[in-house]
Chains A and B, each alone.
Chain A
Amino acid sequence: MMKPGTIILYTAARFLVPLQLLFSVFLLLRGHNEPGGGFIAGLVAAGAFTLYLFTFGSAVTRDLMRVDPRNLIGIGLFIGMLSVFPAVFQGQAFLTAQWWPIMLPGGTEIKLSTPLIFDIGVYLTVVGATMTMIIALTEAEER
C-alpha cells in the first residue's frame, strides 16, 4: 500500500488538496475583476487532483472526483455552449454577454452572467482534459 517514506506527502496532500480546490474556485469566481479565470482555476484544480493522484493512486482519485474526467470534458463543453445561446433569444449575435445582477439581502450585489457560465465551462473542460491525460498516463504506467 503505502511506504513509510511518503508520510509527509500523505499528510500534506490531505490538507493541501481541499485548500487548492477551494483556491481554484476562488480564482474562477474572482477572475473577471482580478487575476484568475476559468483556465487558470482549472489548472489549479488539476494540480490539486494530480497531487492527490501521486499520493493515493488513481482509483482513490477517481473516487474523489466522483465524475469520470472524460465526462467532465463533455459537461464543460456543454456548459460552454449553453452560454452561447441566451443572446440569440434577445435578438443579439451569438455569444453576446448577458448580465443578470442580483441584489442579496445583505446589500451585496452578485452579477450572474453568461461570461461566468462560459468560464465555468472552460474550468470544467480544463480540469477534465488535464485529468484525462494524467490519469490515463498513470494508469498505463504499470501493471
Chain B
Amino acid sequence: MQLAVLVIYLAALITPWLFVQHQHRTAYIMALVPAVLTIWFATHIPLVAGGEVLIHEYQWIPGLDISLTMVLDGLSLMFALLICGIGTLIVLYAGAYLKGNPAQNRFLVILLAFMGSMLGLVLADNLITLFVFWELTSITSYMLIGFNHQSAEARKAALQGLIVTVAGGLALLCGLVMLASIAGSYSIQEILGSSEALTEHPLFVGMLICLLLGAFTKSAQFPFHFWLPNAMAAPTPVSAYLHSATMVKAGIYLLARLQPELGESGLWTILLSSFGAMTMLTGAFMAVRSTDLKKLLAYSTIMALGTLTLLIGIGTETAMIAFAAYLLAHSLYKGALFMLAGIVDHEAGSRDVTLLGGLRKNLPLTAILVAVAALSLAGIPPLFGFVAKELLLESMLGGAFHSFIYVFVMVASIFVVTVASVIALRPFFGTFKAPKEKEKIHEPPIAMLAGPVVLVFLSLVAGIIPGTVGSWVTLPASTAVAGGVVEGYLALWHGLNLPLLLSGISIAVGLVLFKYWDAFRSRLQVLDPIIARGPERGYFWFMDAIVWVAEWQTRILQNGSMRNYLRTIVLVFVGLTGYTLLTRYQLHWNWDVNLYFHELVTVGILVAAAIAACITHSRLGSVAAMGAVGFSVALIFILFSAPDLGITQILVETLTVILLVLVLFRLPSFSNISTTRERIRDAIVALLVGVLIMFLIMITIDVQLFEPISGYMIENSYTLAHGRNIVNVILVDYRALDTLGEIFVLALAAMGVYAMIKFNPATSPGSNHYAGTLILGEKKLAEKDIIHSLEEIHQKMLEDQNIISAGAMKDRNDNDDDDEDDSPNSSYDEDRDHDDSQAAKRKAEEHDDDAENEDKEGKKS
C-alpha cells in the first residue's frame, strides 16, 4: 500500500517529461496509474468484505513512534476505491478539459500529488502520518484552487481555503497529540483496539474540540462552510474531484475513523448532530438561492457533508449503514454532476441556469446524464441516491433527537429535490438560451463524457442491485465505522413505511417549490443582508484582526530601537531564569575562594575596563575598553588552563574590534540623547543581569543535577576519537551535529550582513577599490555648498532680499573678482529658484556666518 501512494507521487514526478512529448495526451497515459490502482484495490474487496483488515507495517521514525504503517479495512477501501476510481475519470476529463492550456502540465502534477496525499491520508495508520498527508492535501488543494493564478478571485479563494483548512489543521494536530497522549499510542489501530475509557480523561473535552475543529474546517461544516463555494474558482475537474471523493471528505473520514472510540461520548453526539444538521440546512438553503450551476452543486455538497456528519453523530447501526451508503451515493452523483456542469459551461459558455435553456437538442447525451444523476441527488428510485436517502430517514427516525433536527432534515430534503430539478431541467428544457450560438454547441469529446457516463452508470447499477453493492463495499465500511459487525442490508424496497412516506412528501413539495423557484428566489432576496453578515464576514474580520494585531505588536516590539530590543530580551531572560532560580534553588554565597595575586590583578583590569566602557564619552574608547575586557577574559581562560578557549577568545575579540572599527566610521557622531532617568533605568537593568549571572555561576559551582559528562569525554577522547585535544574532539566528533548547525548559522549570519549592505543602494560594494585601507579620501563638499569669499555672502543676501537682480550682480562680480569661479554662483541661483524654503534656511545660516565674520573683522581692526 505504501507503494500505491508512492507510485502516484512518482507519476506526478515524471509527468513533466512525458508532457514534453505527448502534450495533452499525457493525461490519458497518467490516467492509467489510478486506473491500475483502482483494480488493485478492487481485488481486495472479497478479502475485506470477509472481515479482514490488511496491515502493511513500515517504520519511519521509530524513535518518535511514527510509522508509515498502512491499514486497509472497509472504510479505507471504500475511500481508496473512490479516490483512485474517480481520480482516473478526473484525470481523463482534465486531459480534454484543459487541452491546449500551456499550464496543463503543472495541473496534472498537482492533481496527481493531491491524489497521492489523499490516498495516503485514508490509508495511514499513524496519527502523525495522517496529519502529514492531511496538510499535504491542504497545500496541494491550495495550488489546485488557485490554478488560474492570474485571476484575483481564484487567488483569494485559494488562500481562503488554505487558511481555513490549515488553521483547522493546527487544531487537529493539537487534538491528535492529545488523543495519542490519552490513549498512549499514535497508532489508530491500537487506539481503537484499546479498552481504555477516553471520556473520563480531563483532556477529553479539549481534545474533542480540537479534533472537531480540524475535521469541521476541512469538511466545510457550518460555520466554516464558506470556503467551499468560493473554491469554485478552480477548474471544473478540481471541483469535481474535491467535492466528490476527496478533500472535503477527509474530515468526514477522520470523524468516521474515530467514531468507534469517541462515539460513546455524549458531547460527540450532540456536537456532531447539531453542527451536521446546521450545515445540512445551510447548504440546502444556500443551494436553493443560487443560480450558478457550480454554486448549486457546491452548496448541495455542503448539505451532503452536513448529513454525513449528522449520521456519524447519531451513531446507531442503521446510521452507520446509511453513512456508508450516502457517502458512496454522493461521491458517484456529485462527481458526475460537476463534470457535466463543466461540460455545459465549456460548450454553452455559461453556467448560470437563468441564462441557459433548451440545450437538450444540442447536448442530448449530457442532458440524459444530468437527468439521471440529478435523480440520484434528489433520491428518486431506482437510483442509489434513493437507497441512501431511505436509510438516512430511517436512521433519523431510529435516533432520539430534538424535534428541530427532524425539521431540518425534511426541509433539506425538500430543497434538494428543488435543486436537483433546477439542475436537470432548467438548462436543457424550455426555449433555447445560451451565450454561445446554437450551431456551435455540440457534445464534448469522449474523454470528457467518459467520467459522467461511468459514474452515472454506477449510480444506476448500484441502485438496481443495492444488496450486492452493500455487502461488498458499503457494509464493510459501516462495520469499520461502527467498530463491530453491522447487521443490515441495502435494498430499494423497504416496504410501505414512514421513511417512504416522508420521501414521497419531500419529492412532491420539492417539485412544487421548483415550479415557483424564480418567485421563491426573489422572495428570498430579502434575506441578502443577513446572509452577507454570515460566517464569511467573520473570516474577513478575523483576517483584518490578524493584520491589526501584527501591526500593533510590531509597533510595540519591533520599534527599531536597539536599546528596547536589548532591554526586552534581557528582562525576559532575567524574569524567567530568576524566577526558576529563586523558586527551585537556594541562593548560595560562596566567597570562600583563594585567589593568587596575578588572578586578582587580571580581575581588577577586567572590572576597571568594564567600568571604563560604561562611562567613557568616546566611541573608540568604549570599543577599546570592551577589547580590554575581552582580552582579560581570555587571560583568565588561559590561567585556568583552557588554551583553546583563550585563543578563540583572543581571535574573536580581535575580529570584533576590527568589525567595530569598520562600523564606527558609519555611525553619527557621539552624543548624549538619554536623560538621567533613562540612564538609571538602564543601569538597573544591567545590574540585574549581572547579579543574576553571578548567582547562576555560584549555583553551577555547587549544584550538580547530572553526573558530568566530561569524565566520559576525557576517558574516551583518545581511545575512541583519536584526539588528545578534548575541546576539538567535542567540536568535531562528540558534538559534531551541533557544530554543523553552528557553521550553518554562521553562514546565514554572513549572508544576512552581506544582504543588508549589498541591497542598500547607498552602500553597494565594489565601487571603491581602495576601500578599507584606512586611507581616507578627501571629503569633498558639493561645489554649490562652497562659499569662496565674504563678498559672495553679501551678494547672496542682497539677492535674497531682491535688492539687486542676480544677473546684474553676477556681471559686477565677474568684473570685480577675476579669480573667482563662475560656477558656484550660477548653481546657487538655480538652487534658489527651485527651493525657496531651502534658500531661506541658508539665508538664516549665512546671517550667523556673516555676524561671526564681521566680529572677527572687528577684532582684527
Q: Footprint of B on A, CB under 8 Å? A: 1-3, 6, 31-40, 43-44, 46-47, 50, 53-60, 70, 73-74, 76-77, 80-81, 83-84, 94-95, 97, 99, 111, 113, 115-116, 118-119, 121-122, 125-126, 128-130, 132-143
Closest residue of chain A to B727 (Cβ to Cβ) is A37
A54 and B774: CB pair below 8 A? yes
Dominant SS among interface residues on chain B = helix
CB distance from B575 to the nearest CB of A (A): 33
Question: A73 is contacted by which of B750, B764, B771, B774 (Cβ under 8 Å)?
Answer: B750
CB pair A84–B732 under 8 Å, yes or no, is: no
CB within 8 Å for A47 and B654 given contacts A35-B643, A40-B644, A141-B771:
yes
Question: Are the C-beta atoms of B747 and A139 separated by less than 8 Å?
Answer: no
Contacts of B739 in A (CB 8 A): 118, 122
Pick out which of these stretches binds chain A: B69-77, B271-279, B657-665, B849-857. B657-665
- B723/A137 in contact, CB under 8 A: no
Give the A-binding residues of B (Cβ under 8 A).
Answer: 643-644, 647-648, 651-652, 654-655, 658-659, 662-663, 665-666, 721-725, 727-729, 731-733, 736-737, 739-740, 743-744, 746-747, 749-751, 753-754, 757-758, 760, 763-777
Task: Point out the residues of chain A lying under 8 angstroms from B723, CB to CB.
Answer: 32-33, 115
Cα–Cα distance between A76 and B654 once the two chains are bound (Å):
23
**A125 to B658, Cβ gap below 8 A?**
no
Contact A140 B747 (CB under 8 A): no
A35 touches B749 (CB 8 A): no
Q: Are A140 and B749 in contact (CB under 8 A)?
A: no
Known contacts A54-B773, A137-B663, A36 near B765 by CB under 8 Å:
no
Known pairs A33-B723, A115-B721, A129-B749 / 17 extra A-B pairs, C-beta < 8 Å: A2-B775, A33-B724, A37-B644, A37-B728, A47-B655, A56-B773, A57-B771, A58-B771, A97-B722, A115-B729, A122-B732, A122-B743, A129-B746, A134-B662, A139-B768, A140-B764, A142-B777
Q: Within the assembled complex, what's the spacing in Å between the Cα atoms of A115 and B740?
A: 11
- Contact, CB under 8 Å: A44 / B651: yes
Q: How far is the CA of A83 from the CA of B737 in the complex (A)?
A: 11
Residue pair A142, B771 in contact (C-beta under 8 Å): yes
Whether B772 lies near A54 (C-beta < 8 A) is yes
Give chain A residues whose Cβ lies under 8 Å from the Cβ of B771: 57-58, 138-142
Please give me the 8 A-B residue pairs with the lowest Cβ-Cβ distance, nearest first. A138-B772, A139-B765, A140-B763, A129-B750, A43-B651, A32-B723, A59-B769, A115-B732
Given the known interface contacts A47-B655, A129-B749, the answer about A80 and B724 at a Cβ–Cβ threshold of 8 Å is: no
Nearest residue, chain B, Cβ from A53: B772
Q: What residues of A have a CB within 8 angstroms of the CB of B737 in the complex?
A: 94-95
Closest to A35 in B: B643
A31 partner residues in chain B, CB cutoff 8 A: 725, 728
Given A36-B725, A73-B750, A47-B662 contact (CB < 8 Å): no
B644 touches A35 (CB 8 A): yes
- Complex contacts, A139 vs chain B, CB 8 Å: 757, 765-768, 771-772
23 residue pairs of the A-B complex, CB under 8 angstroms, read A32-B723, A36-B728, A43-B648, A43-B655, A47-B654, A50-B658, A70-B751, A73-B750, A76-B743, A94-B737, A95-B737, A97-B722, A115-B721, A125-B746, A129-B750, A130-B750, A132-B753, A135-B765, A136-B757, A136-B765, A139-B768, A140-B763, A143-B767
Residues of B within 8 Å of A47, CB to CB, are: 651, 654-655
Say yes or no: A141-B772 contact (C-beta < 8 A), given A31-B728, A39-B731, A130-B655.
Answer: yes
> Which among B651, B732, B758, B774 is the interface contact of A118 at CB below 8 angstroms?
B732
Pair A37/B768 contact, Cβ less than 8 Å: no
Tell me the minimal C-beta distance from A110 to chain B in angstroms.
12
Contact across chains for A32 and B775 when beta carbons are under 8 A apart: no
Decide if A133 touches B750 in the complex (CB within 8 Å). yes
The distance in angstroms between the C-alpha atoms of A1 and B769, with both chains bound, is 10
Q: With the chains together, A138 CA to B775 CA distance in Å? A: 12
Q: B732, A38: Cβ atoms under 8 Å?
A: yes
A100 to B776, CA, bound (A): 52
**Contact A132 to B736, CB < 8 A, known contacts A40-B648, A142-B776:** no
A140 touching B757, Cβ below 8 Å:
yes
Q: Are B725 and A132 in contact, with the CB atoms below 8 A? A: no
Q: Which of A39, A59, A95 contacts B648 (CB 8 A)?
A: A39
Pair A58/B743 contact, Cβ less than 8 Å: no
Closest-CB distance, A46 to chain B (whole angstroms): 6
Q: A77-B743, A122-B739, A133-B753 are in contact. Are A3 and B775 (CB under 8 A)?
A: yes
Which of A35, A36, A47, A140 counts the most B-chain CB atoms under 10 A from its CB? A140
B743 touches A57 (CB 8 A): no
A32-B753 in contact (CB<8A)? no
Q: Which residue of A lies closest to B734 (CB)?
A: A97
Say how far B725's CB is from chain A's closest CB, in angstroms: 5
B737 to chain A minimum Cβ distance, whole angstroms, is 6
A43–B663 touching, CB < 8 Å: no
Q: Do residues A73 and B725 form an inter-chain contact, with CB atoms below 8 A?
A: no
Question: Using Cβ atoms and an 8 Å threshold, which residues of chain A touch B744?
Answer: 77
Q: Measured between alpha carbons, how far is A84 from B644 in the docked complex, in Å?
A: 24
Q: Which residues of B contact A37 (CB under 8 A)?
A: 644, 725, 727-728, 731-732
B772 x A46 contact (CB < 8 A): no
B740: chain A residues at CB < 8 Å are 80-81, 84, 95, 118
Residue of B nearest to A76 (CB): B743
Pick from B648, B655, B727, B731: contact of A46, CB under 8 Å:
B655
Question: Is B769 within 8 A of A73, CB to CB?
Answer: no
What separation, in Å, do the CA atoms of A87 and B732 have in the docked complex?
14
Interface centre among A47, A125, A139 (most CB of B within 10 A): A139
A36-B725, A54-B774 given as contacts; is B666 within 8 A of A141 (CB)?
Answer: yes
Q: Are A136 and B758 in touch, CB under 8 angstroms?
A: yes
Q: Cβ of A34: which chain B residues have Cβ within 8 Å of it?
A: 724-725
